[in-house]
Amino acid sequence: MPQTNRVKIFDTTLRDGEQSPGATMTHEEKLEIAQLLDEMGVDIIEAGFPIASEGDFKAVSEIAKVTRNASICGLARANFKDIDRCWDAVRHAKRPRIHTFIGTSPLHRAIPNLDMDQMAERIHETVTHARNLCEDVQWSPMDATRTEHDYLCRVVEIAIKAGATTINIPDTVGYTAPRESAALIAMLLERVPGADEITFATHCHNDLGMATANSLAAVEAGARQIECTINGLGERAGNTALEEVVMAIKVRHDIMPYKTGIDTTKIMNISRRVATVSGFPVQFNKAIVGKNAFAHESGIHQDGMLKNSETFEIMRPQDVGLNDTNLVMGKHSGRAALRAKLKDLGFELADNQLNDVFVRFKDLADRKKEVWDDDLIALVTQNDASQ
């Protein structure tokens, strides 16, 4: 098992996230997101796939030049041309990283039509080439979770011997389950010579909604890098959501005694910026960053929240960069929430006045999904005028 409890956060919003159909970002938008990621304390930013287009190359090079703290990583397939292009883009960074990959499962091996030995040779050559250019090399056996274990151990060992410093284990199609995710990392740590000298990363997709659980299970088994994206942006059902793994580690530190370098108070702002620039809105009930994640409408919940916020919230809204809990006024709200909301708006009503406003509020709430502050002000001032 690794000695450290520090888990590195590798953000791939600008590479795997941007690969979602329709999520393309402009050059300026990518630079802005990279800066926000850096300020938030992300350890590694995967800024793009330099060989994919001139635009990607330019974005990775520029991000490499201006980023202050994070390592800047570019993606490259397992060939010298991709790797050279990637190096040309990332070499400007204070801490450059080349990330090279090849699909190792039977289905993926069939695509370049390489047999197991030919693929093993290709891995040896390309990782060696990358390592001759850059001290920090990450290697990924794509579709690792559907690769035969013996072959996976063999190629991981080759990549380590060729100089890879991080071995990423992708669940490319979101197929694995938490127990398997943990067992795979444990198996590699146990069977592969030299495995305790490098960092294992986990890279999960969310096709079955298990990406966060799978990533955390991999960490519990010894992975020390989580690959993720803001809002879980990514192809198909997306990637592991950065905000979910980071907040799970923070809130459940009692059972997951790990540390990340993320300033969680910056989460909400970057979530909103990524939603805007990618054009992918965040679902209302999305964990951590959804509009309703810290909102309460029912009377029982609102009353509980007013007495003690821990009754219905396991983290403080301020921890993710929100000002406060949102008590949404609707037909399920009770008298205590109405009194508190009106007090916030500057109205302290006597009991009989509150009763009157409450009756008219319920009537309005039956006709309207949400009762806004202006509606409440109108209800109170109509009440004043009629007295």
- Residues contributing to the site for ligand KIV (CB under 6 A): 16, 101, 140, 142, 168, 170, 172, 203, 205
Non-local (6+) Cβ contacts of 238 within 8 A are 17, 20, 205, 206, 211, 229, 231, 232
Annotated binding residues for Mn(2+), written as ranges, equal 16, 203, 205, 239
286 CB-side CA count, 13 A = 23
202 contact choice in Zn ion, ligand KIV, none (CB below 5 to 8 Å, kind-dependent): none
User: Which of 211, 329 has the CB closer to Zn ion?
Assistant: 211
140 contact choice in Zn ion, ligand KIV, none (CB below 5 to 8 Å, kind-dependent): ligand KIV
Query: Running DSSP on this structure, what letter comes out for residue 239?
Result: B
Q: Token pair 């039956």 is at which residue?
A: 366
Q: Structure tokens of 376?
A: 């409440």
Task: Give me the residue whose beta carbon is nearest to Zn ion.
Answer: 16
Distance between terminal CA atoms of the chain? 73
Q: Structure tokens of 263?
A: 């300033």
User: Which of 109, 205 has the CB closer to ligand KIV?
Assistant: 205
CA dihedral 183, 186, 187, 190 (to 10 degrees): -160
61 contact choice in ligand KIV, Zn ion, none (CB below 5 to 8 Å, kind-dependent): none
Annotated binding residues, written as ranges, equal 16, 203, 205, 239
User: Which of 10, 294 has the CB closer to ligand KIV?
Assistant: 10
User: Which of 16, 43 has the CB closer to ligand KIV?
Assistant: 16
**At closest approach, how far in Å is the CB of 310 from ligand KIV?**
38
CB neighbour burial string for 180-192, b if at least 16 within 10 angstroms, e if fewer: bbbbbbbbbbeeb
**At closest approach, how far in Å is the CB of 99 from ligand KIV?**
7
142 contact choice in ligand KIV, Zn ion, none (CB below 5 to 8 Å, kind-dependent): ligand KIV
Q: Tally Cβ neighbours within 10 Å of residue 211.
A: 29
8 contact choice in Zn ion, ligand KIV, none (CB below 5 to 8 Å, kind-dependent): none
327 forms beta bridges with 296
User: Which of 12, 264 has the CB closer to ligand KIV?
Assistant: 12
